[in-house]
């Protein structure tokens, strides 16, 4: 079923016959439409427009991760400007590199915290065996010993949960961002402007 859904989604996109990359077409009225309108930074350091970033993310969700991308920017109301195209491509790369850096930092934080929880769980298990071997038969001490074992399993579960479940989305996002960074970027001007 999932394969059929992806096949249906892929019909909405062209495939470049030369490199077999899935083409995402982006129509802009002018080069500046690429950038965030409230970003006052120098032209070279301006941020990607949030609606464009959202559009690219939606397209990426519809295209299987194993497929490579080609972004086809069609600039309607401007003549070809190689300098601006280079700046846009550099801005695109900077945007997705910074996004990738944040996701990788978040993943590293997850793994570090998970390691701490795992070490606490191991410590509780060691404490359980030390206290359990004392042979104290008071009901209160038995409850405390069992509490230590339960605490060990809770910390162990939380550690494994973070590694195997909470990290799935950031790991998928990291693959998407790497695919965006690997994408071919093409700029086109409508044919009527060349005449």
If one compares 83 and 180, the residue with the highest pLDDT of the two is 180
pLDDT digits (tens, 9 = 90+) for 43-66: 445 577 888 889 999 999 999 999
Cα–Cα separations (whole angstroms), residue 137 to 22, 133, 145: 69, 11, 11
Taking the C-alpha atoms of residue 129 and residue 146, their distance in angstroms, rounded to an integer, is 11
pLDDT digits (tens, 9 = 90+) for 80-111: 778 888 888 888 999 999 999 999 999 999 99
Tokens linked to 47 = 């941020």
CB 75 within 8 A of CB 31: yes
Strand residues in the chain grouped as ranges (E)? 14-15, 22-28, 69-75, 184-188
**Measured torsion, CA atoms of residues 43, 88, 98, 161, in degrees rounded to the nearest 10:** 140
Taking the C-alpha atoms of residue 65 and residue 173, their distance in angstroms, rounded to an integer, is 10
Taking the C-alpha atoms of residue 27 and residue 40, their distance in angstroms, rounded to an integer, is 23
pTM for this entry: 0.75
């Amino acid at each position: 079923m999932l394969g059929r859904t992806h096949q249906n989604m892929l019909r909405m996109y062209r495939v470049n016959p030369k490199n077999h990359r899935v083409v995402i077409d982006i129509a802009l009225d002018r080069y500046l439409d690429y950038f965030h309108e409230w970003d006052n930074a120098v032209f070279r350091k301006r941020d990607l427009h949030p609606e464009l970033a959202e559009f690219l993310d939606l397209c990426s969700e519809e295209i299987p991760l194993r497929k490579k991308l080609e972004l086809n920017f069609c600039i309607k109301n401007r003549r070809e400007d190689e300098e601006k195209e280079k700046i846009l491509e550099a801005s695109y790369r900077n945007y997705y590199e910074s996004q990738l850096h944040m996701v990788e930092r978040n993943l590293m934080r997850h793994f570090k915290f998970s390691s701490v929880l795992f070490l606490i769980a191991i410590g509780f298990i060691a404490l359980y065996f030390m206290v359990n071997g004392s042979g104290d038969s008071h009901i209160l001490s038995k409850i405390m010993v069992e509490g230590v074992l339960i605490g060990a399993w809770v910390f162990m579960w939380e550690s494994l949960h973070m590694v195997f479940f909470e990290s799935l989305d950031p790991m998928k996002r990291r693959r998407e961002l790497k695919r965006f960074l690997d994408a071919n970027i093409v700029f086109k001007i409508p044919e009527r402007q060349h005449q």
